[in-house]
Amino acid sequence: MFELYLDTANAQEVARLNAAMPVFGVTTNPSILAKEGKGLSTILPEIKEVLGEQARFHVQVVSTTTEAMVAEAVQLSQLPYDIVVKIPTTVIGLAAIKQLKAKKISILETAIYSAQQGFMAALCGADYLAPYVNRIDVLGANSVNIVSDLQLLINQHNLNCKLLPASFKNTRQVMDILRLGVNSITLPSDIAEQMMIHPSVQPAVDVFSQDWQDAFEGKLAYQS
């Protein structure tokens, strides 16, 4: 099943978008929470209220040593939600995944900028990999090639790991990545909204309405 996430900590945005799209859960990071000015103890219940019991939350550790990341991840995993713990894909983060997988904690490896870095995380046992599409592109690298290589490696080695690409700045980037067959994606609210709209749609609908009124004034379709 495809998992569509919103990369936000704003419950109002989640509610607005979830009304028209099948939101599987939410991804956050320390910058997103800082921008929202709210911590996990506030936003997790707010968003669960919106999405329901089945909502999945990807929440990131802020610790900076392997031991502290592991301890923080254990605490996060015990919160009363469907939690995937996000760990930055650094050398100390990779060491943390190895320990956390032994404890059967669900892990997303975040801040992936290269296929080799993501492959290491997958081998260490990450459940999800989050390549940073736009950040890769602005560095002059090719996010499509990197995500494609990662998907290939996951398939070749039958790794139990999903790609969850993040960091999008336009819908073309989203479609280029979706075309690769990834199992999940996380979108900022503005890009999620753009996925549903096109400037030609409303004019087309307006013409349908006018034509209908001209021919069948006041009637609904089943009354015609």
**Which residues of the shown chain bind ligand G3P in the complex (CB under 6 A)?**
7, 27, 29, 132, 134-135, 166-167, 186
Closest approach of ligand G3P to the CB of residue 215, in Å: 48
Closest approach of ligand G3P to the CB of residue 167, in Å: 3
- Indicate the residue among 178 and 212 with the shorter CB distance to ligand G3P: 178
The strand pair at 3-7 and 162-163 is best described as: unpaired
Locate the DSSP E strands across 35-131.
56-60, 82-88, 107-112, 128-131
Closest approach of ligand G3P to the CB of residue 28, in Å: 8
With residue 24 as reference, give the H or E element that holds it. none
- Indicate the residue among 175 and 205 with the shorter CB distance to ligand G3P: 175
Catalytic residue among 35, 38, 86, 101: 86
- Nearest partner of 134 among 111, 107, 109, 108, judged by Cα: 111
Residue type, 178: L
Residues in the chain: 224
- Indicate the residue among 29 and 143 with the shorter CB distance to ligand G3P: 29
End-to-end CA distance of the chain: 40
Closest approach of ligand G3P to the CB of residue 30, in Å: 10
Q: Check: CB of residue 65 under 8 Å from CB of residue 73.
A: no
The strand pair at 56-60 and 82-88 is best described as: parallel
Closest approach of ligand G3P to the CB of residue 208, in Å: 37
- Indicate the residue among 148 and 173 with the shorter CB distance to ligand G3P: 173
Residue type, 5: Y
Structure tokens at 12: 């109002």
Is 86 part of the annotated catalytic residue set?
A: yes
- The DSSP secondary structure of 168-179, one letter per residue, reads -SSHHHHHHHHT
- Indicate the residue among 63 and 212 with the shorter CB distance to ligand G3P: 63
**Neighbouring residues of 121: CB distance < 8 A, sequence distance ≥ 6:** 89, 94, 97, 109, 112, 129
- Residues with a catalytic annotation lie at 86
